[in-house]
Structure 1
Amino acid sequence: MALLTHLLACVFGTGSWMAINGVWVELPLLVNKLPEGWYLPSYLTIIIQLANVGPLLITLMYRFKPGMLNEVVVIYAVVGTGCLACFLLAFLWHYTTPVAGAPHSTAFLILTFFLSLVDCTSSVTFLPFMSRLHPCYVTTFFIGEGLSGFIPALIALAQGSGLANCVNVMRTDNVTAGNTTASNVTDEGGHFQTETQYSPANFSTLVFFILLTVIMVSSLVAFFFLSRLPKVWELSKQNLFSSEVTLNSFCMTPEDGQGAGSTGYVDGKPASSVKGSEAEKKATYSLSEFIFIYFLVAWVNSLTNGVLPSVQSYSCLPYGNMAYHLSATLSAMANPLACTIALLLPSRSLILLGGLTTTGTAFGAFNMAMAVMSPCPLLQHSDWGDALIVISWVLFTGTLSYVKVMAGVILRSQSHSALVWYAAVEQLGSLIGAVVMFPLVNVYSLFKSADFCSLQCPA
């Protein structure tokens, strides 16, 4: 039963950011087909943050009307909306309408807003629901949340979205004689021009979003069973994992507010076998430490959800569509890998988390620097440059994902409200990052785009 509960928690977690992660990894194809072009990632980032009205409303309800909010009902509504929006996106993503005299992918942007509303709201509803279960299941949930990026990345790799080649195309020169215009295709009247030609995807965008819809429905079904688990499965009153060393080592503190009968772990041992003062000491953090943890949460999420995603196209596309494709998909895979490492090698050391945050920020700074230098970044037209930008994006995502998971686990061990505020600070950091970047990209045009195959950069 414990393994089944872990499976349900994992599948449930995949629905948290599945839809938006799917849109991100599909961007290498979408930026070449939708009228927004290279601006599309920044549009997507600000739309996601506008959707924070959902978690803001939920957080205020938790604060001022805690008894009126039924988490189960909210989650059903949230995931159900995500399933419907994802299904509609499969058929309507390419429709455009004129706005202010220019074509815009209004259907895509509107449906993306609803998907964002779903995923952002999941941050303040899924985690509080998981707090009803044993802390071990929170880690499994985070693995599922990581898979919400890994699975779309695998689908995108299989699809081969956005791959392109540079080819020489013969262009004709028009020669006007009197009222007659003739097209010459001879060596004298024509010329070769290098153009970007995109390879057809192995399957369409419609199929891609249908597959995401199926996964969203699976998450809804998993939640249906998870919310109906027998009370004996809720590990707040008994120890079902005394023989599972790996999981026990991760469940280090008893639940706050659950009475003397609650079960937890300290250093891999049942809390009941540890002196009360020692267990309490393990679970206690000073005010300055709490401030530091919440600062890490806000900073990490501002970078991973707001600042860097806005300029990923400028950071990667100058190296070619293959580099962009691999950066988008492999960095999405780094998230669940970091969650798995957090499960096997957990560390609550705030010094280590601070160091990893600094390291991830350094990789993010490199990615930002390459975006600022677009369309002529370092080591362009070099295999080393292609490899470096992909590796930098993967390590940026991986290191900061580990920090996010461990910060969530630390706060989960404290109280339900600490986890709710974790989700709120997570969304606040993401919002700040997006709001800062949107005018820089779309209003002041500080980042320059260009066709990779026609770039004229100094050697």
Structure 2
Amino acid sequence: MEEKNKVDLEASLKSEKSKNSLIVHLLIATFGISAWIGINSIFVELPLLVNSLPEKWNLPMYLVIMIQVANIGPMAYILARKFNFNFPESYLIFALLLLGASMMSLLAFFYKKTLFFRGKEYSAVLFAATFFTALVNCSSSLLFMPYLRHFRESYLASYYVGEGLSGIIPSAIALIQGTGSQCDSEKIERFSPQYYFISIFIILLFSLIAFLLLDNLELVASEKVSENTENVARKDENLNHKFESTLRIYFYILLGLMCLLANGFLPGIQSFSSLPYGNITYHLTATLSLLANPIGCFLAVFFPPKSWKIINWLSTVTFLNCSHVIYLAFVSPRPPLQYSVVGKVFVILSWILLIGLISYVKLALASIFRHEAHSGNLFRIGIVMQIGSAFGAVLSLILSSFTKLLESYDSCSEDTFPS
């Protein structure tokens, strides 16, 4: 009888632990959604925002500038850590999540508000909201991931699932929303940007609640570990995580380049490369390419590369594909196959493949560093990612504002249509 009670007790404890683990996985995934959903949601909505805001198709470039100016926040945090200023980590993350949700609420009701400066009209509220949203998202690399050192390594996958959903969710909402006509007042979207941003605000509230539960819920405490409890270093037959210093530097550079493209340079040229193929093509490019981000993350988590040679090969394909979309941006407003279905499909697929590959390589590289040693690597790779993103934005700004290599496409002009 005692033996049976003991077995029943063990089964009950195992079931309870499994239930707690599932709850923590869900909470961490929901928390992870907040990592980049703010900036992703703004860029996904651009095909509609440009129709009603004064910057028109130069708007992506302005927003990229705001995003990179927001790097002052992470850089200030890095300097503060260097000089041993200690901040209460949980309070800081809570404040950032609250700020992110507040910015979405602000956008929902005031995204059309503009100000005049030196005779020109600017979308001041959108710029300010983008800056503070980027402050949250850019800081996620330095705060959100390191916070997960308190949990078992198995929960990192859930965080990346949530981070991937930060691309899927706004894209799915935008696809349901539909698009609008670019040249006249006719609108075919199902609901306005106001309701779009309200929906993102609600999702961010769920992320905020999830973090509060992670930080305070009693059942979560049993799933936490001390930094020294779990040795995250792994050994692989083909890819030893304790790699040589030369290879480590190479991987850091490669990670920085991937972030330069994904977070800084490519968002600034996307409209130049895809808009000449039509407003709907640009809309699909902006939304579907973000869907490729979580797919790349899923593949990197469940099918990690077994050799650095695979990373090299995937990086080569990425750079070749990137060269193609850059070429399309440089030959705007008259790219090849502009008015054919083949051209439209090809540019959409090119962007989907490009963003998917970059997402896979970024996560694969970050995972290698994370498994190599202690949790401090999570902070260092965050610094590398932010530096790469900043350089990409500066490059995009120089090409857009100080050269004639990028020429905007006006689909409402009669001479842009074939005779």
TM-score in terms of structure 2 length: 0.89
Map of 1:276-287 to 2, 5 A cutoff? 282-287=240-245
**Cα distance change of structure 1 residues 11 and 40 upon mapping to structure 2, 3 Å threshold:** same
Matched, 1:120 2:79: no
Distance of 2:108 and 2:69 partners within structure 1: 22
Aligned residue pairs, count: 395
Matched, 1:81 2:99: yes
Distance of 2:363 and 2:225 partners within structure 1: 21
Distance of 1:13 and 1:73 partners within structure 2: 17
Give, as a single letter, the amino acid of the residue that structure 2 aligns with 1:84: S
- The equivalent residue for 1:58 is 77
- The equivalent residue for 1:438 is 397
The alpha-carbon deviation at position 409 of structure 1 amounts to 1.4
Distance of 1:94 and 1:439 partners within structure 2: 27
Map of 1:25-174 to 2, 5 A cutoff? 25-65=44-84, 68-163=86-181
Unaligned runs of 5+ in 2: 1-19
Query: Alpha-carbon deviations, 1:70-119, whole Å to 9, x = none?
Result: 21111011111111111011111101111110111111111111111111
- The equivalent residue for 1:335 is 293
Matched, 1:225 2:213: yes
Matched, 1:11 2:30: yes
Distance of 2:252 and 2:234 partners within structure 1: 23
Map of 1:30-429 to 2, 5 A cutoff? 30-65=49-84, 68-163=86-181, 198-228=186-216, 230-235=220-225, 258=228, 262=230, 266=234, 282-413=240-371, 414-429=373-388
TM-score in terms of structure 1 length: 0.82
The alpha-carbon deviation at position 196 of structure 1 amounts to 5.6
The alpha-carbon deviation at position 135 of structure 1 amounts to 2.0
Give, as a single letter, the amino acid of the residue that structure 1 aligns with 2:366: G
Cα contact 1:296–1:354 (8 A) shared by 2: no
Distance of 1:6 and 1:339 partners within structure 2: 16
**Cα distance change of structure 1 residues 425 and 198 upon mapping to structure 2, 3 Å threshold:** farther
Query: Alpha-carbon deviations, 1:46-71, whole Å to 9, x = none?
Result: 110100011111222333316x1221
Cα contact 1:52–1:120 (8 A) shared by 2: yes
Q: Which moved more, 1:139-148 or 1:11-20?
A: 139-148
Q: Which moved more, 1:102-111 or 1:133-142?
A: 133-142
Distance of 1:226 and 1:20 partners within structure 2: 24
Cα contact 1:152–1:212 (8 A) shared by 2: yes
Query: Alpha-carbon deviations, 1:24-60, whole Å to 9, x = none?
Result: 0000111121111111111111110100011111222
The alpha-carbon deviation at position 146 of structure 1 amounts to 1.3
- Superposition CA RMSD, Å: 2.0
Q: Which moved more, 1:224-233 or 1:308-317?
A: 224-233
Q: Percent identity?
A: 37
Distance of 2:306 and 2:154 partners within structure 1: 15
- Secondary structure of 1:366's counterpart equals helix
- Secondary structure of 1:140's counterpart equals helix
Unaligned runs of 5+ in 1: 165-194, 237-256, 269-277
Cα contact 1:145–1:336 (8 A) shared by 2: yes
Query: Alpha-carbon deviations, 1:402-427, whole Å to 9, x = none?
Result: 11111221122222211101011101
Cα contact 2:329–2:406 (8 A) shared by 1: yes
Give, as a single letter, the amino acid of the residue that structure 2 aligns with 1:202: R
Distance of 2:398 and 2:51 partners within structure 1: 22
Structure ID, larger Rg: 1
Give, as a single letter, the amino acid of the residue that structure 1 aligns with 2:59: L
Give, as a single letter, the amino acid of the residue that structure 2 aligns with 1:450: Y
Distance of 1:99 and 1:133 partners within structure 2: 49
Q: Which moved more, 1:313-322 or 1:449-458?
A: 449-458
Cα contact 1:163–1:325 (8 A) shared by 2: no
Cα contact 1:131–1:412 (8 A) shared by 2: no
Q: Hey, which of these two has a bigger chunk of strand by percent? A: 1
Distance of 1:311 and 1:282 partners within structure 2: 37
Cα contact 2:171–2:288 (8 A) shared by 1: yes
